Amino acid sequence: MNKMNELKVAYFNQLGQIELKQAKRKFERKYPDCTIKLIATGYDAVFEKLADQEVDLGICDLRDEQNDYHQTKLARLGIKAVLPKDSFPNGMQMIDKAELADLPCFIVAKPEEEVVELHLFKDLYRLPSHFIAANSVAEAALLVASGSGYFLLNENTVKSIRSEDLQSLFLLDHQQQLWQTIMAFYPKESTLIYNFLAILQKEY
C-alpha cells in the first residue's frame, strides 16, 4: 500500500479508544485505499511523536497552549468523579470539588507520566485533594471500589467502566461544570486528515 494513504494517529490513552476505533472503521470503509494506524501513548508522548514526525495526527485533551500545530476541536466533555458506590445519595448527579478535599485522588499515570498528570490535576483543575498514582484505570477502579478516594474520567470514557461498586458524579468548581476539551493536533494540513476528523467529530 502507498504510505501516502496511511494516516498515523497517536492518542492519549486515558481518553479511551471507542470513538477512534469507530471512526477508523467508518473511514476505511468509505476510503478503502486508505488506512488508519492508531497508537496509544501518554500525553507528552503524543507531542513528542508529532515533533519527531512519527505520526501525522495527535489526539489529546487541551491543557497548556500548543501553538506549534494546526488544531481542530473534536468535543467538549464533562469531567466526572468516580467514587465508591453509596458515597453520596442516590440520584445525586453533581459534586463540587471542595467536597472531595478529604479524599485521596488517584492519578492514572505510569511513573514517567506522573509529573505531567500532576500538573493537570493540581495546577489546572486545582483539586484540593492529595494525590496517589495508579498505573491504570482498572487499578484506580479497584482501589476506589474498595472504599479509597476517587479518580476522574470524562463522561464518555466513564461508560467503559462496568462496576456495581462505583458511582460517577459530574465535577463542579464553585458550581461551574469542569470540562475536558478533546483536540486534534497536526503539523501539516491534508485532505486525508480533514476527512478523518470530519468522521471522528461525529463519534463524540
Report how far residue 190's alpha carbon sits from residue 43's, in angstroms, rounded to the nearest whole number. Answer: 23
pLDDT of residue 123: 92
Residue-wise pLDDT for 82-99, tens only, equals 999 988 888 899 999 999
Helix ranges, 62-175 (H):
114-118, 137-145
pLDDT of residue 93: 95
* Burial (0-12, 13-18, 19+ Cβ within 10 Å), 83: buried
pLDDT of residue 65: 76
* Helical pair 18-30 and 191-203, crossing angle rounded to 10 deg: 130
Pull the grid cell for residue 197. 476528523
Q: Are 151 and 140 in contact (CB under 8 A)?
A: yes
| Amino acid letter for position 4 | M
Residue-wise pLDDT for 68-81, tens only, equals 899 999 999 999 99
Rounded to the nearest angstrom, the gap between the alpha carbon of residue 179 and the centroid of all alpha carbons in its chain is 11
| Residue ranges in the chain whose pLDDT is less than 70 | 1-4
Q: Which residues contact 61 (CB under 8 A, 6 or more apart)?
A: 12, 15, 43, 180, 181, 182, 183
Domains annotated for the chain, with CATH where assigned, are 3-75+181-203 (3.40.190.10), 77-179 (3.40.190.10)
pLDDT of residue 4: 55
Q: Which helix (H) or strand (E) holds 8?
A: strand 6-12
pLDDT of residue 73: 97
Report how far residue 117's alpha carbon sits from residue 201's, in angstroms, rounded to the nearest whole number. Answer: 25
Report how far residue 146's alpha carbon sits from residue 102's, in angstroms, rounded to the nearest whole number. Answer: 17
pTM given for the model: 0.89
152: left (phi over 0), alpha (psi -120 to 50) or beta: beta
pLDDT of residue 2: 43
